[in-house]
Amino acid sequence: MPQINLLRTLLRTTLAITTSLSVVAARDANLLPTVCVTGATGYLASELTAQLLSTGRYMVRGTVRSLANEEKLAPLRTLSGAAERLELMEADLFDAGSFEPCIAGVMFVFHTASPFITSNIVDPMTQLVEPAVKGTEAVLAAAALAGVTRVVLTSSIAAVKGAAPKADGSCFSEDDWNESSTLDGDGLDQYR
């Protein structure tokens, strides 16, 4: 009997040590897969970044317009897990090459970066459409170059909603499409 108890204790100890080592190894940022979130300071992207970090299962590489704007970066830097697993890099929607180092070596990409301007729109094609299209092309090209097998491309509330709320007061859904915004509109109802 003492031998069986000793064996049980030894097995429990071995299991506990193995489990502890696995947890420590999983927390070692060098062993975690890296994902890229473009436009990390945006509304959707910052929540996505928070959720990815909260799992403890990923390194997150977020792209931002400027690393010098600490006011915009502060909410990301204070996220739980950010100090250990968040890397921020600059990328420009108009500079295709700027996404290549951001995406190199990542498992997958969440492309959320896109201009969102609601005032002082002078030329919607130049201010909204071209950066969105060129940025998406740049991210997809960088992902292809890096061998990324999955890219999640997000859209905007502007795709389903113009300036006016729904006439019947109901919520917007995947059945809705913004048919009021055009390149010739003004303010909130311009194409974005």
Q: How do residues 21-53 score in pLDDT, each as one tens digit?
A: 344 444 565 689 999 999 999 989 999 999 999
Could you list the beta-strand ranges (E) of 69-135. Answer: 86-90, 108-111
Q: What pLDDT is recorded for position 123?
A: 86
Residue 62 near residue 87 (C-beta atoms within 8 A): yes
pLDDT class for 162, splitting at 50, 70, 90?
A: confident
Average pLDDT, the chain: 82
pLDDT attached to residue 168:
85
| Residue owning tokens 């600490």 | 70
pLDDT confidence of residue 25: 45
At residue 179's C-alpha, the angle toward residues 177 and 181, to 5°, is 115
Helix (H, G, I), strand (E, B) or coil at 25: helix
State the pLDDT confidence band at 156, using cuts at 50, 70 and 90: confident
87-97 mean pLDDT: 93
User: Is the model's pLDDT at 104 over the cut of 80?
Assistant: yes
Tokens 């975690």 identify what position? 32
